[in-house]
Amino acid sequence: MSILVVSVSHKTTSFEVLGRLAMDADASAKLAESLTRSEHIDEAVVLSTCNRTEVYAEVGRFHAGLDEITEQLAEATGVATTVLRGICSVYFDEGAVAHTFNVSGGLDSMVIGENQILGQVRAALSGSQQVGTVGTVLNSLFQQGIRVGKRVQTETAIGSAGRSMVTAALRQYQSLAGSLDGVRVAVVGAGSMASLAARTVAAEGADVTAVNRTFDRAVRLADAIGGHARPLADLPAVLAGSDLVISCTGARDLVLTSGLIADTPLRAVIDLALPADAEPAIAEVVPLINLDRLLRAGDDSVSTAEVDAARELVRLEVHDFLARRRASQVTPTVVALRSMAAEVTESELRRLDGRLPDLDDRQRAEIAKTVRRVVDKLLHQPTVRVQEFAANQGQVDYAAALRELFALDPQTVAAVMSPDAATQAAEVADAAASTELITGSE
């Protein structure tokens, strides 16, 4: 089985199309469930943010898996399959691992190093875990991706700077209108992006009013930052007393129109929603800072050296992950070999019992212990070395070589990979790497 990622992002299409592809948590979980009902896909995670909509899957066949993903994504979003095929990026196996880690580390984001993506990746994994569309392959991939993202945030300059779409948008606002201190800011929405925006401007000294369709959520956000709360029905009145509005809702329809903001004291409108909350015509009334504008402005706030350092960290993590995965792929064969050796040993000991019936229990036990120790010693180094070779020299199928050398039954190896044998496999694999099998301490 292999990992396949189908990605549509700000790098491959417009935000108008991304808005049509955007999915909330429920829609993402529904698509993941539908994908795993396919005969070609065993696991699936859907990640949808303001920068991307991506499907991560464990597939049995590349082309069949790719066709299934694009067809179901088209059906779920209404974007034609032919359009999707022209705007998606496809990553397979090792490339999929590298892409996952770059996304989690914020290196594939519009704002390089932005830290909000890590929470979005974690939420996507959690959602798929809840509906049962994640197994060992994608769980391992995403858990490691989250760890890589944390390392980028804590160990690199681009991660520790606390960068986000919100900070990028506010930098543009401040270049137009100056300090946020004392500015009356209306924050529309109460999700993670809106909460981040409210906390950020409040910390800069702004007077914040949280506006949300669910009033209780607006109250909770306002209480957390020492601001005010108003229901969405009061939005016109709130705008009439605001200098800046930041909108990031999950609405499918426009929240802000040029007519709504006309004759207000607003100095700018920031729209970080996908699909967009603000009508493009607003730009004719006041400055409109939206995702398109942020993309056109580019991101020159980090140096090439800082980005390169983060990418090197990710590259090393990808190498280590792939090495561990290659080593684990030979484990079932190692376990099958040791199981076969154990069966041969026990058979010979039973044969010895018949040929030497006069041995007492102590003698039999000592002989059995010696025979088993000899087998362990003979197998230890080859099995440890084959796992090392598999980890570091991925072009050779060492598992196949081991099966051929020892005439292992493929069905026996396959049985080791079954869930019922997982515990035994882990125990034998650990034993294979144990120095105690060599020293044989009494």
Q: Is 50 a catalytic residue?
A: yes
Angle between helices 361-392 and 304-355 (to 10 degrees): 150
Can you list the alpha helix ranges (DSSP code H) found in 8-132?
A: 15-21, 25-36, 62-77, 81-87, 94-104, 116-131
Instruction: Tell me the C-alpha distance between 309 and 307, whole Å.
Output: 5
Q: Which of 134, 123, 145 is nearest to 58 (CA)?
A: 134
Selecting among 3, 44, 47, 50, the annotated active-site residue is 50
Q: Which helix (H) or strand (E) holds 60?
A: none
Which tokens go with 192? 């993670």
Cα dist from 168 to 175, 207, 308, whole Å: 11, 20, 21
Instruction: Tell me the C-alpha distance between 365 and 28, whole Å.
Output: 60
- Grouping H, G, I as helix, E, B as strand and the rest as coil, residue 6 is strand
Q: Who contacts 300 (Cβ-Cβ below 8 Å, separation ≥6)?
A: none
DSSP state for residue 124 in the 8-state scheme: H
Which tokens go with 321? 């992950």
Q: Which of 77, 8, 67, 12 is nearest to 35 (CA)?
A: 67
Strands (E), 244-396: 244-247, 268-271, 288-290
Q: Catalytic residue positions? A: 50
